[in-house]
Structure 1
């Protein structure tokens, strides 16, 4: 039976699969990802899973239920990384899924569903500037415009796919239908400090954040830095700075979270008053209504700042992702699994980060288990988890998977629109 120590050792082995020798850097459709697939496919086979790589580049493994071809309970996470990554974001979830499959190897053949594990690719979007390409392909929401995206060296997604041994014309074969799936469950490091602050090993995710990203352009007048007195100045950078402080001050007292990650100033000369400043805002909240209400509040406040300083303002929306609630039935199964580890009152947590479940929710119900990580650090080499927490996650996840898989088809266990049951 796979132990938490073995899962962590496998995380270490995967960390050696990198396209950069001095750091962990494993992007979509790269040689490092191919090496990682080789390791993970071997571990899947050891767990009794039949393995294949779909035409989007996702690595999949399956074991059948009581008869071939039944809908599958899907476990997974992603195998790609950000540049200079830690070794647990994504990988831990894939390896926990494999460990669960190994533990349940003798039980699954009696189930009314199959069990699958998937290692998604391009969750991070580090190479081509997008994200969730692997899980979007599985969910049947692939966008053909992605084939023309280019990486920093000019390679298109289409060419990278061919170099990886894929056929772009067959990407549609990666898609699953609602009737093909029972549910999707994912274990993932929290990427935040709430579990550690509460001294809990595990948390049950209630929803994956709804996000909006937009660009704010503040327009003033570029004039001589020495010759223009303050009453005559229309300094775009000072206005933008006040607006950025307003963003933090406004959101800090709410349940939302916002980040200004980039600012650009023109003309950018040391002796010229800035005539234009542009900054980005990444806004997230547990629900779309809360997110959109906060966006309206922020833009109204920024408009007031600009009007008081005689500045113009333009807003451009860049990205929108709806909040993804986790299904009650899956939350209940995960909660019971956590209770079985000795935590009588499992902590509910909403995910402020995006995950593959956002895409997979287009075809089936999703549920997530969070695992405590040291100081909430993620997307950084200092990412760390404790063996005791991984052991708890393995036990809780196994129990939850057993509950969902063994009862598939008995009542509302398959999403509405599928062939069995009415969904949550």
Structure 2
């Protein structure tokens, strides 16, 4: 194992440009990306895929990648990519990354911190002239959240080779097509599948991410190791009733779509609460039509998100929800359509990589790593189709995420940085051993 000087320093400027690579500078850089021009809105952070704010962020990230000694490019899906060559120019790469897009009114660290930490790791080694038997490649995925177009993890799907055809017919809420948005960046929709990488060109994928939950804080731990990412279903539910005058239709004769939806929301919650601790069921979006005070609502569309650590638990809950909703629709004399929009299987992290990551946590912290299942989806669950994956969680204050109150302790992020460098060095030794072992 190569020696690693991982001491961190507090940033000396707004983006940490004057300080040494590490967790403190990573936090400062995320803070620098938390406002315009890196946000579409002046009073809150919103960085959707292929927006002007996204473009500005890609440019800033590319600058930091280049300062760290990487060659940079934007791939056919609009992902930001930096590469630090290995001992041989054609060596396969250890991919490090996360996403650069955000939800509306977001925090500064979800996704972005993982990208910036990858840059800090490369800067650490470039400053020492250290190279590995594999390249280090950092990627900032363009669209993990699905905040603009109606599919999440679109650009990591492209990288993993899961977009066999260009996703035609996709529009944002303003009616702008994905094709037009890509064209604004000089990219072609028909070329999007060409962002696919070859499995033989990647040895592993490492993603560092804030926990987005309260477990690490409750146990007073800076970092944790992810063992699996929960299975996820996302449904679109449409309830069609009959709109009518609020003053003239008797209560007993109403076909009120919103009243039916309200009961459906409680049914979803009831199924989630009755299951095992890792099962969650959420209605996060609801649209009412015609949406005026003196009209009985005739049409409601809402979302359902169901997640669990095991696909069987998720599937059983989804079926229970479907049965309950069909029963209430029949009782209330409304029409129900429940359409599956997204099916993400449970993704176990690679056992050997997870063990190495846990060993790195123990070396840096002196404590056995907290092993945990991620209830949130991450690009890692898609990248598992390309390469073995592992994930490192970082404590966030109150477990709050997707919220401007999202916060991290720079000392925790520094510890994560040290864990990542330790992991990479240990992985390099194991990688060489595997190459020298006879077949």
TM-score in terms of structure 1 length: 0.87
Partners of 1:234 and 1:309 within 8 A in 2: yes
Partners of 1:184 and 1:366 within 8 A in 2: yes
Aligned to 1:20, which of 41, 61, 72? 41
1:260 maps onto 2:283 in alignment = yes
Aligned to 1:73, which of 87, 94, 99? 94
Partners of 2:242 and 2:298 within 8 A in 1: yes
Aligned to 2:106: 85
1:192 maps onto 2:174 in alignment = no
Aligned-partner SS, 1:211: strand
1:335 maps onto 2:358 in alignment = yes
Aligned to 1:122: 143
Indicate how the Cα distance of structure 1 residues 80 and 280 shifts in structure 2: closer, same or farther if over 3 A, else same: closer
Q: Partners in 2 of 1:237 and 1:283 — Cα distance?
A: 21
Greater Cα offset, 361-370 or 146-155? 146-155
* 1:56-67 correspondence to structure 2 within 5 Å: 56-67=77-88
Greater Cα offset, 1-10 or 224-233? 224-233
What's the offset of the Cα at 1:15? 2.1
What's the offset of the Cα at 1:53? 2.0
Greater Cα offset, 325-334 or 136-145? 136-145
Aligned to 1:374: 397
Partners of 2:286 and 2:301 within 8 A in 1: yes
**Cα RMSD over matched residues?**
2.9
State the Cα deviation string for residues 221-273 of structure 1 (Å, max 9, x = none).
66776676666666554443333222212212422111112334566565665
Aligned to 2:14: none
Aligned-partner SS, 1:284: strand
What's the offset of the Cα at 1:108? 4.8
1:293 maps onto 2:316 in alignment = yes
Q: Partners in 1 of 2:392 and 2:258 — Cα distance?
A: 43
Aligned-partner SS, 2:150: coil
Aligned-partner SS, 2:433: coil
Q: Partners in 1 of 2:56 and 2:245 — Cα distance?
A: 57
1:52 maps onto 2:53 in alignment = no
Greater Cα offset, 127-136 or 385-394? 127-136
What's the offset of the Cα at 1:91? 1.1
Greater Cα offset, 29-38 or 141-150? 141-150
Q: Partners in 2 of 1:80 and 1:206 — Cα distance?
A: 25
Aligned-partner SS, 1:124: coil
Aligned to 1:281, which of 294, 300, 304? 304
Q: Partners in 2 of 1:328 and 1:363 — Cα distance?
A: 16
Q: Partners in 2 of 1:74 and 1:117 — Cα distance?
A: 6
1:38 maps onto 2:59 in alignment = yes
Q: How many residues are aligned here?
A: 415
Aligned to 2:378: 355
Greater Cα offset, 17-26 or 332-341? 17-26
Query: Which sections of structure 2, spanning at least 5 residues, go unmatched?
Result: 1-19
Partners of 1:81 and 1:126 within 8 A in 2: yes
Q: Partners in 1 of 2:394 and 2:220 — Cα distance?
A: 11
Q: Partners in 2 of 1:239 and 1:176 — Cα distance?
A: 46
Indicate how the Cα distance of structure 1 residues 183 and 267 shifts in structure 2: closer, same or farther if over 3 A, else same: same
Greater Cα offset, 13-22 or 378-387? 13-22
Q: Partners in 2 of 1:20 and 1:340 — Cα distance?
A: 42
Aligned-partner SS, 1:251: helix
What's the offset of the Cα at 1:280? 2.5
TM-score in terms of structure 2 length: 0.84
Aligned to 1:94: 115
Query: Which sections of structure 1, spanning at least 5 residues, go unmatched?
Result: 414-419
Partners of 2:164 and 2:193 within 8 A in 1: no
Partners of 1:28 and 1:127 within 8 A in 2: yes
What's the offset of the Cα at 1:306? 4.3
Aligned to 2:270, which of 238, 249, 258? 249
Aligned-partner SS, 1:367: strand
Q: Partners in 2 of 1:171 and 1:231 — Cα distance?
A: 53
Indicate how the Cα distance of structure 1 residues 384 and 268 shifts in structure 2: closer, same or farther if over 3 A, else same: closer
Q: Partners in 2 of 1:412 and 1:352 — Cα distance?
A: 35
Aligned to 2:339: 316
Q: Partners in 2 of 1:232 and 1:412 — Cα distance?
A: 74
